[in-house]
Amino acid sequence: MLTPELDEFIVRMPKVELHVHLEGAIAPRTLLELAHQNGVELPARDVAGVEQLLRYRNFGEFITVFMTMARVIVRGEDFARLAYELGMDLAAQQVCYAEVMISPMQHIKRGMDLYEAIAGAAEGFAQVERETGTQIRIALDYGRQYGPDLAWQVLDVARKAQPIGVVGWSIGGNEIGHPPEPFAEVFAAAREAKLGLMAHAGEVVGPASVWGAIDHLGVMRLGHGIRSIDDPHLLTEIIRRGVVLDVCPSSNLRTGAVHSWAEHPLRKLYDAGVLVTINSDDPTFFHTTITEEYRRSVTHFGFGADELTAMTLNAARATFLPPAERATLYTQVNAGIVTLRRELGV
Ligand SMILES: [Zn+2]
């Protein structure tokens, strides 16, 4: 039950967000302003129109709207603005650390220079860190539907951008018909470059996709991974290997990956002993925030303060930061939570 004390704990607790897309966090007003400023036609004239646009009915429509909206982001400074706005929003929610994904192909295929985009985002995040102390790093989330060949040039840019804050390499986009296996060599090269590896898998496709991601790509973090629940052997293996599932409950409801809260396997995954974390995915598209996802985890799955703490600490342990920085973050988050729980008596 979401008591006032538990709600206050959720609002004030130090948080770590590992699964959020920069393009999916764009505020409707910013979207409209950028469209106007950059002369990009949008099928929406005002905030109400944007809300209308966000009423997609399935995962395919969601991807189409996502791509339509991404067109308004044109210059490095647009990325800086988006990054700054998202970062300040996360900082206001007591997020101490976040990894934010950028979808490179959305921008490359419009002729944008990917490095300029990343550098813009990095600048926005650096400003957030100077103003609030919240640290934000970047992961590139390659759209699997573009195939492995084009991924190599994106990986080159990711490597070049490591000194300015790129820490992760991921595949996302349309999971249906695009299994992980063809990306094995690209992921091996990303690992060689010391990038953290993750994959969207087991979101709309079943266990085969998760097996491919952990066996062939060697990822230790899965975006969603919720369909792992359908394969007891896979579940055992995920637990044995310590693979972390970055779960985004509202996203799964909104895209139709699950049909109801009652059907969502988060509670079962947690109880089975899987390392899960809670994330917002695309806050604008899913009408949510990381704080709201924590609240919904209480109301729909019955989690309490111990479990919310455990999931937050899972996230702090699973970042792609270098080990020493990861340890510092963990200590900071843990200490903050202990103090807050004592104060609130939760
Ligand atoms: Zn995602």
Query: What secondary structure letter does DSSP report for 243?
Result: P
Tell me how far the alpha carbon of residue 214 lies from the centroid of ligand 1, in angstroms.
17
Tell me how far the alpha carbon of residue 343 lies from the centroid of ligand 1, in angstroms.
35
Tell me how far the alpha carbon of residue 346 lies from the centroid of ligand 1, in angstroms.
31
pLDDT of residue 147: 97
Domain that holds residue 191: 4-344
pLDDT of residue 10: 98
Residue-wise pLDDT for 94-119, tens only, equals 999 999 999 999 899 989 999 999 99
> Which CATH number fits the domain that encloses residue 10?
3.20.20.140
148-153: long-range pairs with CB below 8 Å, 24+: 148/182, 148/183, 148/185, 148/186, 150/105, 151/183, 151/186, 152/186, 152/189
Number of domains, the chain: 1
Tell me how far the alpha carbon of residue 131 lies from the centroid of ligand 1, in angstroms.
27
Residue stretches of the chain with pLDDT short of 70:
none
pLDDT of residue 129: 98
Residue 44 phi, psi (nearest 5): -155, 135
pLDDT of residue 61: 86
Tell me how far the alpha carbon of residue 5 lies from the centroid of ligand 1, in angstroms.
31
pLDDT of residue 140: 98
Output the six-digit token pair for 141.
């989330």
pLDDT of residue 241: 98
Which active-site residues does the annotation give? 203
pTM: 0.96
